[in-house]
A and B are shown apart, each in its own frame.
Chain A
Amino acid sequence: MSAAEDRSENIRLLRDSAAAIIPADYRRIRALRFTDPGFDRAVWQEMCDMGWAAVRVPEAQGGSGLGVAEYCALAEALGRGLVPEPFIGAVTAASVLSGAALAEAISGASVILPAWQERANTIDCAGDTTVSGGRANGRKMFIAQAGGADAFVVSGRDGVALVARDAAGVSLSIERTQDGGSFGTLTLDNAACTPLAGDMAAALEEASLATGAYLLGVMDRVFSMTLDYMRTRQQFGRAIGSFQALQHRAADLKIQVALTRASVEAAAVTLDTSQHPAVRQAAVSRAKARAAEAAMLVTRQCIQLHGGIGYTDEADAGLFLRKAMVLSSLHGGAALHRARYAAVAPDDDE
């Protein structure tokens, strides 16, 4: 087999193993909603046992040494299952960790999540937090599933550091999110921290794309569920999917899903092959802008196409809408990524 064939075989195997741990129904997802910490540590352990937390960690450091394409394939599979375990956060943190903390993180012994954001609407980890001299001071927001973390990788204007959840001077407040998960706000008041050497910005670039890939899984799955509904729901003596107006709408949604897939997969290849910062950023922003907008459009329309039942909590379509509501803006919404694309992308006529 060629290298490219090896690669796609890798991705196929990853998708299969992901599918194996994701149940066909959403009972587990429903049961975890609005609980603390909103995910199941035992399931996270299974995911770690399969090496997923280490997907981007080089083999020399005990990781799987896989590429961004594999990372995104996994994120997409988890998106199809609405899996709430903190996969993208943990992979982001692992990219910055080393040594014993890294080993704990990828084995599942510790849940370590990134705390990088100091305001809404940003993908920049720069801020006012300081982490030098073994002490962390500052405030970090929008930390997904923070309630289940044992430690945080905190970005500061003077470096990156590891802060234990139970260290003195650390406080964490939790707000519920629409998908049944949570955002944490972390306040650091002279908390003990250990300096790290990793590059948070590079890890966040990948996290933006992986979030787009997760959204791709979300929209692809709810779209296929909706097509099934359109094939079976009868009104006016025929399946509603036989009405041309609805067929055209479904075709338009298919186009958005296909554009998102093309954009996300192309961006993954770019991150795996290009070292040029502007090229990488443009690819990620294009993919996340598309995924954010398409995920909202597709999930909204899937509610509409389900009709009244789509507005009930017992219908699964709503779970997908509410996941899209949370993730479309996390790691940058469409407007933010369009603005960055405009700033970094090469001119069209070049």
Chain B
Amino acid sequence: MTDYNAMDDDAFRLMVRSWVVAHYPEDLRNPPKRLHWRDNKVWYHKLAEKGWLCPGWPAAHGGMGLDAGKQIVFMEECERHGVARTNDHGIIMVGPLLIQYGTEAQRAEFLPKILSGDHVWCQGYSEPNAGSDLASLRTAAVSDGDDWVVNGQKIWTTLANDANWIFLLVRTDPAAKKQEGISFLLVPMDSPGITVRPIVNIDLHDEFCEVFFDAVRVPKRWTVGAVNQGWTMAKNLLGFERIYLGSPKLSGYALSRLKLLAERMGVWDDAAFRDRYTGLSMEMADLKALHATFVDIVRRGLPLGPDVSMLKVIQTELFQKITDAMMDIAGENAGLLEPIEGNRNLHPAGQFIQARPSTIYGGSNEIQRNILARNVLALPA
């Protein structure tokens, strides 16, 4: 097996680039919206066959085992070619969860199925009345012999309409303090009693869903970690998610589109615009540098601290500032429903709309700031 980490960065970059360019489906480059599994699966399987599906997983579990620097090179090359985000909850959430907290049997059961694309995962965290206040979640699992019986509702479940498995936070001890009665379950989406309802977004796309659980039986062997200890794991997993949501990728793509738009609108050489663009571009470089320090913590197997919330705040707000700049220079084109003159690289309104939920999902930026204030700065509640 190739030791990618031993390779020279430039050689690694060229290797990734030439393979991505040769194999990524041309018609899926830079899609204006999150793609569904029907479009993603071809690329997912190509990555899996190549052994490149999970750059951050240890090689022993079927990942590439890349160090922080190489992961960033890998990400940059995908971004450079306009590779779409795939159905990646198994890759970035379930895999790391099971590697850290799962049993040997669970790892053997689930990791190969993620790598093969047989299992497409979604995340069942938020509920209608447990969004920012996630720990108040009420979907309940009651013990019944060898099973849990689950009743309740999840919402904002990304691409649940594509998934055949869901990882779920449920309340297993209603009497305990709210963070202490939560467990982590792995549940097949074809279990009797599960209903999925897509939510039409503000961009008229169905990226999110509601998932309803009506007396769904889940074998107890699909509990991850100890019963009533799910919150700690979920928080750690949110750390992984924040590294992902804090990845400079989205902003990097948007920034390159801002430049194209500026050229198209004839303001690229305008001094006021260039100052603004340069400021955004420098913030992007600083974000990359900060992001790399967190990726490195993960690579060394150390736990992420609450300070990872910074990444999510910076990335999502930078993304929004970039799309604000697009709207400001696009003139009347800022109101168009479709890309300018059919060129999907020139779609300020689409990018602007796409940037809206990033400061809401994955723990709203208000919650991230609470975490920073309380848990990093130790300010009083």
Contacts and interface: CB of A to CB of B under 8 A. Distances in A.
Given A322-B202, A334-B328, A335-B328, A308 B357 contact: yes
A322 B131 CA distance: 24
Interface stretch (B42-50, B79-87, B282-290, B334-342): B334-342
A15 interface: no
A126 interface: no
A214 interface: no
A211 B327 CA distance: 17
Contacts of A333: 328, 331, 334
B201 to A, nearest CB: 6
B335 A296 contact: no
A310 interface: yes
A180 to B, nearest CB: 8
Contact of A234 (B126, B129, B366): B129
Contact of A120 (B129, B132, B333, B338): B333
B155 interface: yes
B337 A178 contact: yes
Contacts of A326: 334-335
Interface stretch (A84-92, A198-206, A312-320): A312-320
B335 A329 contact: yes
B39 to A, nearest CB: 22
Interface in A224-274: 234-236, 240, 243, 245-246
Contact of B201 (A142, A312, A334): A312
Contacts of B332: 117, 120-121, 141-142, 183, 329-330
A325 B352 contact: yes
B327 A296 contact: yes
Interface string B324-366: 1001111111111110000000000100110011011100101
Contacts of A183: 332, 335-336
Given A235-B132, A245-B366, A325-B349, A311 B201 contact: yes
B360 to A, nearest CB: 6
Contacts of B357: 308, 311
A311 B369 CA distance: 21
Nearest to A293: B328
B335 A327 contact: yes
A135 interface: no
A176 B339 CA distance: 10
Interface stretch (A19-27, A101-109, A299-307): A299-307
Interface string A274-310: 0000000000000000000000100010011001101
Contacts of B335: 177-179, 183, 325-327, 329-330
A148 to B, nearest CB: 17
A46 interface: no
Contacts of B353: 178, 322
A350 B281 CA distance: 40
Contacts of A137: none
A11 interface: no
A336 B353 CA distance: 23
26 contacts: A120-B330, A121-B265, A176-B338, A177-B337, A178-B336, A179-B335, A183-B332, A234-B129, A235-B131, A236-B132, A243-B366, A246-B366, A304-B359, A307-B131, A308-B126, A308-B131, A308-B208, A311-B201, A311-B356, A312-B199, A321-B202, A322-B202, A325-B327, A328-B334, A333-B334, A334-B328
Interface of A: 34, 117, 120-122, 141-142, 175-179, 183, 234-236, 240, 243, 245-246, 296, 300, 303-304, 307-308, 310-315, 318, 321-322, 325-330, 333-336
Given A311-B202, A314-B199, A333-B334, 18 more contacts: A121-B265, A121-B332, A141-B332, A175-B337, A178-B349, A183-B332, A300-B356, A303-B360, A304-B356, A304-B364, A310-B360, A312-B201, A314-B200, A325-B327, A327-B335, A328-B327, A329-B333, A336-B331
